[in-house]
Amino acid sequence: MLHFQYFISLFKIYWMNKNWENQLQSIWLKLGTINSEEFIEQIKDHVELLTEKDSQAIADFERACAFDSTGHEKEAEPLYRSALEKGLTGLRRRRARIQLASTLRNNGKIEESIHILREEKAHYSDELDDAVDSFLALSLSSAEEYKEALSLILKALSKHLPRYNNSLSRYAENL
């Protein structure tokens, strides 16, 4: 009987998390169709539904994303930092690092942005690798490191071309 109750508890947690994520996605679909303040408020209200201590990192991340996506980078930066300090994990952690670096670049903290993205590039690899390279290229461009920025973009692009992949990748290496 104890095993059955444990299974039911796990299923409830899974269902509540899935439902919460689905509702979150519904709010994100409203971005650009409602005013920024209303959008931010809906995200804030929704993340308040998270009750577990571990979920506070997710709440800070989602609020940071809402601010960032509506042009409020200064408000987003401390929330990204907080989410990471609270132990954000998985794909959200990777996204938070990329988005924090982009926000830092927009806030004039270019060297820190480059540092974060170089660290991500060196230590992690997933489906967001091209995003890391793209945002690193933007930061390098802001730092007037144009050749390295172009090299990163060309190398990322070369993976997606139907032809000339090797040639473009070699040209990128030579830059």
pLDDT digit string, tens, across residues 23-78: 999 999 999 999 999 999 999 999 998 877 669 999 999 999 999 999 999 999 99
> What sign for the dihedral angle of Cα 66, 68, 72, 75?
positive
> How far is C-alpha 106 from the geometric centre of its chain's CA atoms?
15
CATH number 1.25.40 is the correct assignment for the domain at 93-175? yes
The pLDDT tens digits for 110-147 are: 999 999 999 999 999 999 999 999 999 999 999 999 99
One DSSP character per residue, 54-84 reads THHHHHHHHHHHHHHHTT-HHHHHHHHHHHH
Residues of the chain with pLDDT > 90, as a percent, come to 74
Residue 76 to residue 44: CA distance in whole angstroms:
13
- Copy the structure tokens of residue 92: 């959200």
Place of tokens 């952690």: 93
Contact status, residue 103 vs residue 76, Cβ threshold 8 Å: yes
- Mean pLDDT over residues 66-92, rounded? 97
**Residue-range domain boundaries for the chain:** 1-88, 93-175
Percent of the chain with pLDDT over 70: 89
Is the distance from CB of 101 to CB of 131 less than 8 angstroms? no
